[in-house]
A = this chain, B = another copy of it.
Amino acid sequence: MDRFKDVLKASNLKSTHQRLAILDCIDMFGHIDVDTLYEAILRKYPTMSKATLYRNINDLISFHILEEVKLPNQKQQYEIKKVPHIHLLCTHCGCVEDVFVETKTLLDAVKDKSGFTISNSFIVMNGTCELCSSQVISNNTQNTCSLEMQTL
Protein backbone atom coordinates (compact mmCIF):
# COMPACT_ATOMS: atom_id res chain seq x y z
CA MET A 1 0.00 0.00 0.00
CA ASP A 2 2.37 2.66 1.22
CA ARG A 3 4.96 2.73 -1.49
CA PHE A 4 6.02 6.14 -0.29
CA LYS A 5 7.28 4.68 2.98
CA ASP A 6 10.15 3.16 1.07
CA VAL A 7 10.78 6.36 -0.80
CA LEU A 8 11.05 8.28 2.47
CA LYS A 9 13.18 5.62 4.09
CA ALA A 10 15.60 5.74 1.19
CA SER A 11 16.22 9.38 2.05
CA ASN A 12 16.32 8.75 5.79
CA LEU A 13 13.13 10.70 6.27
CA LYS A 14 10.61 9.56 8.85
CA SER A 15 7.33 8.22 7.54
CA THR A 16 4.91 10.50 9.30
CA HIS A 17 1.22 10.41 8.54
CA GLN A 18 1.46 13.96 7.31
CA ARG A 19 4.18 13.21 4.80
CA LEU A 20 2.42 10.15 3.50
CA ALA A 21 -0.79 12.13 3.17
CA ILE A 22 1.00 14.85 1.24
CA LEU A 23 2.63 12.38 -1.11
CA ASP A 24 -0.52 10.31 -1.64
CA CYS A 25 -2.53 13.39 -2.32
CA ILE A 26 -0.09 14.86 -4.83
CA ASP A 27 0.20 11.47 -6.45
CA MET A 28 -3.56 11.22 -6.76
CA PHE A 29 -3.99 14.69 -8.24
CA GLY A 30 -0.96 14.40 -10.47
CA HIS A 31 -0.31 18.13 -10.27
CA ILE A 32 -1.54 20.37 -7.51
CA ASP A 33 -0.91 23.78 -5.97
CA VAL A 34 -0.32 24.42 -2.27
CA ASP A 35 -3.77 25.71 -1.40
CA THR A 36 -5.71 22.96 -3.12
CA LEU A 37 -3.41 20.44 -1.53
CA TYR A 38 -3.88 21.93 1.91
CA GLU A 39 -7.64 21.94 1.55
CA ALA A 40 -7.66 18.32 0.41
CA ILE A 41 -5.43 17.17 3.23
CA LEU A 42 -7.43 19.01 5.88
CA ARG A 43 -10.37 16.74 5.14
CA LYS A 44 -8.37 13.77 6.31
CA TYR A 45 -6.09 15.52 8.81
CA PRO A 46 -7.97 18.53 10.15
CA THR A 47 -5.06 19.38 12.44
CA MET A 48 -2.37 19.63 9.80
CA SER A 49 -0.64 22.97 10.01
CA LYS A 50 0.13 24.94 6.89
CA ALA A 51 3.66 25.35 8.17
CA THR A 52 4.01 21.59 8.09
CA LEU A 53 2.84 21.52 4.52
CA TYR A 54 5.28 24.18 3.35
CA ARG A 55 8.10 22.65 5.35
CA ASN A 56 7.50 19.22 3.87
CA ILE A 57 7.09 20.40 0.33
CA ASN A 58 10.45 22.12 0.55
CA ASP A 59 12.12 19.18 2.22
CA LEU A 60 10.70 16.69 -0.25
CA ILE A 61 11.86 18.85 -3.11
CA SER A 62 15.36 19.06 -1.76
CA PHE A 63 15.43 15.27 -1.58
CA HIS A 64 14.14 15.12 -5.15
CA ILE A 65 11.01 13.28 -4.12
CA LEU A 66 8.81 16.13 -5.26
CA GLU A 67 9.32 18.50 -8.13
CA GLU A 68 7.90 21.94 -8.79
CA VAL A 69 5.88 22.48 -11.94
CA LYS A 70 5.82 26.02 -13.24
CA LEU A 71 2.96 26.68 -15.61
CA PRO A 72 2.28 29.96 -17.39
CA ASN A 73 -0.26 32.15 -15.58
CA GLN A 74 -0.86 29.51 -12.95
CA LYS A 75 0.02 29.14 -9.33
CA GLN A 76 3.05 27.03 -8.69
CA GLN A 77 2.21 23.34 -8.71
CA TYR A 78 3.96 20.22 -7.48
CA GLU A 79 4.19 16.65 -8.64
CA ILE A 80 5.88 13.43 -7.63
CA LYS A 81 9.24 13.37 -9.31
CA LYS A 82 9.27 10.99 -12.23
CA VAL A 83 11.12 10.52 -15.47
CA PRO A 84 11.36 13.66 -17.60
CA HIS A 85 8.23 14.52 -19.49
CA ILE A 86 6.35 17.36 -21.08
CA HIS A 87 3.42 19.15 -19.41
CA LEU A 88 0.34 20.10 -21.32
CA LEU A 89 -1.91 22.73 -19.82
CA CYS A 90 -5.41 23.01 -21.21
CA THR A 91 -6.32 26.67 -21.13
CA HIS A 92 -10.01 25.80 -21.18
CA CYS A 93 -10.44 23.40 -18.30
CA GLY A 94 -7.13 23.91 -16.53
CA CYS A 95 -6.18 20.25 -16.57
CA VAL A 96 -2.56 19.26 -16.82
CA GLU A 97 -1.44 16.19 -18.72
CA ASP A 98 1.93 14.52 -18.92
CA VAL A 99 3.23 13.39 -22.25
CA PHE A 100 6.32 11.38 -22.89
CA VAL A 101 7.93 12.31 -26.17
CA GLU A 102 11.49 12.09 -27.38
CA THR A 103 13.28 15.42 -26.99
CA LYS A 104 16.84 14.45 -27.79
CA THR A 105 16.71 15.95 -31.26
CA LEU A 106 15.67 19.32 -29.86
CA LEU A 107 18.22 19.24 -27.05
CA ASP A 108 20.98 18.48 -29.56
CA ALA A 109 19.89 21.33 -31.78
CA VAL A 110 19.88 23.72 -28.84
CA LYS A 111 23.24 22.48 -27.67
CA ASP A 112 24.77 22.96 -31.11
CA LYS A 113 23.37 26.42 -31.56
CA SER A 114 24.10 27.77 -28.08
CA GLY A 115 27.20 26.03 -26.80
CA PHE A 116 25.32 25.20 -23.62
CA THR A 117 25.75 21.81 -22.02
CA ILE A 118 22.16 20.87 -21.33
CA SER A 119 21.44 18.89 -18.20
CA ASN A 120 17.70 19.20 -17.91
CA SER A 121 14.71 20.51 -19.77
CA PHE A 122 11.34 21.85 -18.70
CA ILE A 123 8.74 21.93 -21.39
CA VAL A 124 5.21 23.18 -21.03
CA MET A 125 2.70 23.60 -23.80
CA ASN A 126 -0.56 25.50 -23.72
CA GLY A 127 -3.51 24.44 -25.72
CA THR A 128 -6.82 22.66 -25.72
CA CYS A 129 -7.17 19.12 -24.50
CA GLU A 130 -8.96 16.44 -26.48
CA LEU A 131 -12.07 16.54 -24.30
CA CYS A 132 -12.44 20.30 -24.53
CA SER A 133 -11.82 20.22 -28.27
CA SER A 134 -14.53 17.62 -28.76
CA GLN A 135 -17.11 19.77 -27.04
CA VAL A 136 -18.47 23.14 -27.89
CA ILE A 137 -17.38 24.96 -24.79
CA SER A 138 -19.61 27.85 -23.83
CA ASN A 139 -18.07 30.82 -22.10
CA ASN A 140 -19.14 29.85 -18.64
CA THR A 141 -18.86 26.11 -18.89
CA GLN A 142 -15.70 24.45 -17.76
CA ASN A 143 -14.69 20.85 -17.88
CA THR A 144 -13.05 19.47 -14.84
CA CYS A 145 -10.49 17.05 -16.10
CA SER A 146 -8.59 17.12 -12.84
CA LEU A 147 -9.36 14.28 -10.46
CA GLU A 148 -11.37 14.72 -7.38
CA MET A 149 -9.69 12.92 -4.55
CA GLN A 150 -11.80 10.05 -3.33
CA THR A 151 -9.84 8.50 -0.50
CA LEU A 152 -6.58 9.58 0.95
Contact = CB atoms under 8 A, between A and B. Distances in A.
Interface of A: 68, 70-73, 86, 88, 90-91, 97, 99-103, 105-107, 109-110, 113-130, 133
9 contacts: A70-B72, A72-B120, A88-B116, A99-B116, A101-B110, A107-B125, A114-B129, A116-B130, A120-B126
A130 B90 CA distance: 36
Given A68-B72, A121-B123, A129 B116 contact: yes
A99 B88 CA distance: 22
Contacts of A72: 68, 70, 120, 122
B105 A133 contact: no
Nearest to A121: B125
A127 B118 contact: yes
Contacts of A105: 105-106
A121 B127 CA distance: 9
Contacts of A101: 106, 109-110, 113
